[in-house]
Structure 1
Amino acid sequence: MGAVMVGERLVKATPENWMYPPAEGWTFDQVKDLELPAAWELVDGEIVVRGRTVWWHNHVRRRIERCLEDTMTETYCVASEQCVFVDDQNTPVPDIVVFDKQGLDLFETRAIPVTKAVLMIEVVSTGSRQDDRVRKPALYASAGVPYYWRVERGEGNLPEVHEYWLNPERAEYFPRPGRACHAGKLETDFPYPIAIDLAGLVEL
């Protein structure tokens, strides 16, 4: 009886067992229906609770998302705090993702396929510096996402955007040639023409 109960317990992650993954780790199918009081993501088969973010982080994220929506072309869509399916045991939740919506039923999609993602954006918080500067860009690059932005909190609370392009042969990001760090104003043509008044993002 005990063996059967253990087998059943590990079929799906629940609020009671999510912190005890099976030896091979959780899969997306096992965790996709899990509801916890805190936000979380699947990292190498383990459920990782995401830290709370401060007002600056959330405000800047919302403003950037709005700017991207205002300038995007018809084939793209912008989402924040949306699960992205990289593989069966890695479903990160970037602050913002820009993706190709063609062929997707957005009302039924549980996670955006990483093959559809064209730009990932992370807004760095005190508790996410290692993830946003190292782990997540490495994961996104290895999955072939063409562009990555890392948003840092600069002097006077002004956002600074570090723009990275993918080197597909090495599966690594490299700083955008010519102007890798945007302060004051961001202007880029990738993945589509975008201009953002960065100082205006924090105006109340």
Structure 2
Amino acid sequence: MTAAKPVEQSSPWPVPPQNGYTVDDLFTLPDLPPHTELIDGSLVFGGPQRRFHGNVVDLLVHGLRSTLPADLRVSREMTIVLDRRNGPEPDVCVIRAAAITGPDQTHYEAADVLLAVEVVSPESEARDRTTKPRKYAAAGIPHFWRVERNGDTTHPVVHTYTLDPLTKAYVHTGMHRDQLKVTEPYDVTVDLTAVDRL
């Protein structure tokens, strides 16, 4: 009787466990590409970033920080732990300052997030438009913004949403083309046409 030969792994990618990955795996698996997300127990790898995406993120981070209350912070591209099997990485988020634990922090808890922002990219359209907003709402994040490109222009369009506490679903509260002006989660005004100067 001969012993069975061990199966050799031919791919450098990790083989998922039978029941999928957990957020613990997301933070401990070695050599994952930057900005890897966990959605429903599956690892999701980000594609190359486009100039529009990066510029809009910069514009929104600057705009959100310009009137930021002292008890809040703005962060970009940090994992939000929604539950054991979901750790998405919104492009921008507003969190409670008390949630900051130090410079080596890798994630925030959903309960500490007031706003999650997704800038839609071609490779992530379905996730940014449907999957992530549903998960953010189910986790109780009060506000969500979805940012899209305004046709063939370089300008963004920002769709703002607020959470309906009864249905645990987002309600569309506005569509902003040239200027984003909102009072929730706090007073924010951003000249969206300024993206041309970045």
Tell me the TM-score normalized by structure 1: 0.86
Give 2:172's aligned residue. Answer: 175
Give 2:77's aligned residue. Answer: 81
Give 1:31's aligned residue. Answer: 26
The yes-or-no answer on 1:115 pairing with 2:126 is no
Give 2:182's aligned residue. Answer: 188
The yes-or-no answer on 1:158 pairing with 2:155 is yes
Q: Deviations over 1:148-200 (max 9, x none)?
A: 00111004221110000101111100111xxx101111111100100000111
Alpha carbons of structure 1 residues 37 and 165: separation in structure 2 relative to 1, 3 Å: closer
Percent sequence identity over aligned pairs: 32
Q: CA deviation at 1:17?
A: 5.3
Q: Deviations over 1:96-153 (max 9, x none)?
A: 0111121541334331001000000011111111111111100100000000001110
List runs of 5+ in structure 1 lacking aligned partners.
7-14
Give 1:9's aligned residue. Answer: none
The whole-number CA distance in structure 1 between the counterparts of 2:128 and 2:116 is 11
Task: Select which of 183, 186, 198 maps to 2:192.
Answer: 198
* Contact 2:154–2:195 (CA under 8 A) maintained in structure 1: no
SS at match of 1:187: strand
For 1:168, give the aligned amino acid: P
* Contact 1:64–1:201 (CA under 8 A) maintained in structure 2: no
The whole-number CA distance in structure 2 between the counterparts of 1:64 and 1:103 is 21
The whole-number CA distance in structure 1 between the counterparts of 2:117 and 2:157 is 12
For 1:190, give the aligned amino acid: E
The whole-number CA distance in structure 1 between the counterparts of 2:60 and 2:99 is 25
* Contact 1:60–1:202 (CA under 8 A) maintained in structure 2: no
Task: Select which of 113, 117, 130 maps to 1:134.
Answer: 130
* Contact 1:68–1:194 (CA under 8 A) maintained in structure 2: yes
The whole-number CA distance in structure 2 between the counterparts of 1:141 and 1:70 is 26
Greater alpha carbon shift after TM alignment, 150-159 vs 90-99? 150-159
Following TM superposition, where does structure 1 have runs of at least 4 consecutive aligned residues deviating by more than 6 angstroms? none
List runs of 5+ in structure 2 lacking aligned partners.
none
The whole-number CA distance in structure 2 between the counterparts of 1:125 and 1:31 is 22
Q: Aligned Cα RMSD in Å?
A: 2.1
Number of corresponding residues: 190
Give 2:16's aligned residue. Answer: 21
The yes-or-no answer on 1:46 pairing with 2:42 is yes
SS at match of 1:74: coil
